[in-house]
Chain A
């Protein structure tokens, strides 16, 4: 029973208690850059999920083989390999999304969320736990990207997943799909998140 509990904990901590964006504030580059539409947020979330889960499996499985002195280099090789696979695959099968995300796919390599999980978790835990941790963290990351991307698209383009919501009468808030919109939305959500966390703490 305790085992099941621990497994669940490793998964759910990424969603809420240790959410990579709202709590750890990791991976800000894609968070701000590609959340101008819901579909871009989703695509970036899925791409990061794939890379994080695959890297965690490999790093966890190879943790006894990889010499400590060159572990970071090895992690980066592993991560970069999966990122390039994602890059080619998106270009081949979803060229439109690939064009939208552009350089930010390649930049998943340096998303510190991914390297951080390898160093902090996958290199010290079993493959099973590492998968749960990676899935939880990716789900938390994707959830946070969507939390930013959905309101930005609704306010900035008047649409959701490219479906027009308000018709012609709506005047889009262009600033929301420009870079400042990302900062506004992220700041606003961090405010809510921290306010809620403090209130919970205060109420015991």
Chain B
């Protein structure tokens, strides 16, 4: 009888032992993960920064350098890049970027924006000249649109041409391919109408949001915007 009891005890380790085993496993796992995170995080951050920088230079033609502007209650301000400020939650901030040419003249703004597309949110960045009220460049940063159809918003050259010089007044509208007559019209991609319209909606909403802040910023600081 006692032998049998002992046998059962061997089969059933105490709860404490089980908790301990899992606790140790979790602890070790934690060390490994935090170590990997600390090691890779600078690279991941650098990748993201490089991607944003590349996109800004792409959507503002002839852009040589840029500064980051943050929208506060009192309007747009140049973002402080002190380390203390960087620690704050970046995600909550509304940021745009002012682009300068080689001579240091302001030539446009790069504005990030996102809008639900066909599958998921499309996030993008576009270049904007607030004197001509014209969009001067556009790039999709992230989208999960249908491969082969909706994802043409990223690659299709004919579609990209729409955004080389696109007037935002009175507002941007989509037209069928080959029917573009006015400067405020975008030729939709056949087979990807929903994605094309999402881009136009994104631009209209974003311009409406940023136009007043940009105008105020330019007036307040007496900045001459090069055409």
- Which of A36, A91, A177 is B47 in contact with, Cβ under 8 Å? A91
Task: Report whether B29 and A77 are in contact in the complex, using a CB–CB cutoff of 8 Å.
Answer: yes
B7 → chain A closest CB, angstroms:
15
In Å, the complex CA distance between A79 and B25 comes to 11
Asked whether any CB of chain A lies closer than 8 Å to the CB of B36, the reply is: yes
Mark each residue of chain B from 84 to 107: 1 if its CB lies under 8 Å from any CB of chain A, else 0: 000000000000000000000000
Mark each residue of chain B from 141 to 166: 1 if its CB lies under 8 Å from any CB of chain A, else 0: 01000111100000000000000000
Task: Report whether A92 and B21 are in contact in the complex, using a CB–CB cutoff of 8 Å.
Answer: no
Assess A36 versus B29: contact at CB under 8 Å? Given A67-B17, A91-B40: no
Asked whether any CB of chain A lies closer than 8 Å to the CB of B18, the reply is: yes
B81 → chain A closest CB, angstroms:
23
Task: Report whether B29 and A89 are in contact in the complex, using a CB–CB cutoff of 8 Å.
Answer: no
- Interface size band for B: 20 to 34
Q: Secondary structure of the B side of the interface?
A: helix
In Å, the complex CA distance between A16 and B108 comes to 60
Asked whether any CB of chain B lies closer than 8 Å to the CB of A1, the reply is: no
B36 → chain A closest CB, angstroms:
5
Q: Which residue of B lies closest to A77 (CB)?
A: B25
- Which of B21, B32, B43, B47 is A81 in contact with, Cβ under 8 Å? B32
Residues from chain B with a CB closer than 8 A to the CB of A78 are: 25, 29
Task: Report whether B44 and A88 are in contact in the complex, using a CB–CB cutoff of 8 Å.
Answer: yes
B145 → chain A closest CB, angstroms:
12
In Å, the complex CA distance between A73 and B29 comes to 13
Mark each residue of chain A from 54 to 70: 1 if its CB lies under 8 Å from any CB of chain B, else 0: 00000000000111011
In Å, the complex CA distance between A89 and B146 comes to 28
Residues from chain A with a CB closer than 8 A to the CB of B40 are: 88-89, 91-92
Residues from chain A with a CB closer than 8 A to the CB of B149 are: 174
Q: Which residue of A lies closest to B42 (CB)?
A: A92
Q: Which of B25, B26, B51 has the most CB of A within 10 A?
A: B25
Residues from chain B with a CB closer than 8 A to the CB of A74 are: 21-22, 25
Task: Report whether A77 and B33 are in contact in the complex, using a CB–CB cutoff of 8 Å.
Answer: no
Task: Report whether A77 and B26 are in contact in the complex, using a CB–CB cutoff of 8 Å.
Answer: yes
Asked whether any CB of chain B lies closer than 8 Å to the CB of A178, the reply is: yes
Task: Report whether A174 and B29 are in contact in the complex, using a CB–CB cutoff of 8 Å.
Answer: no
Mark each residue of chain B from 1 to 17: 1 if its CB lies under 8 Å from any CB of chain A, else 0: 00000000000110001
In Å, the complex CA distance between A91 and B146 comes to 23
Task: Report whether A95 and B36 are in contact in the complex, using a CB–CB cutoff of 8 Å.
Answer: no
Residues from chain B with a CB closer than 8 A to the CB of A73 are: 22, 25
Q: Which of A69, A172, A177 has the most CB of B within 10 A?
A: A69
Q: Which residue of A lies closest to B20 (CB)?
A: A67
Task: Report whether B21 and A65 are in contact in the complex, using a CB–CB cutoff of 8 Å.
Answer: yes
Task: Report whether A67 and B18 are in contact in the complex, using a CB–CB cutoff of 8 Å.
Answer: yes
A4 → chain B closest CB, angstroms:
35
Q: Which residue of B lies closest to A82 (CB)?
A: B32
In Å, the complex CA distance between A104 and B147 comes to 17
Residues from chain B with a CB closer than 8 A to the CB of A67 are: 13, 17-18, 21
Listed by A's residue number, 21 A-B pairs whose Cβ atoms lie within 8 Å are: A65-B21, A67-B13, A67-B18, A67-B21, A69-B12, A69-B18, A73-B25, A77-B29, A84-B36, A88-B39, A88-B40, A89-B36, A91-B40, A91-B44, A92-B47, A95-B47, A95-B51, A156-B147, A172-B148, A174-B149, A178-B146
By Cβ-Cβ distance, the 3 closest A-B pairs, closest first, are: A174-B148, A92-B43, A92-B40
Please list the residues of chain B having a beta carbon within 8 angstroms of any beta carbon in chain A.
Answer: 12-13, 17-18, 21-22, 25-26, 29, 32-33, 36-37, 39-41, 43-44, 47, 51, 142, 146-149
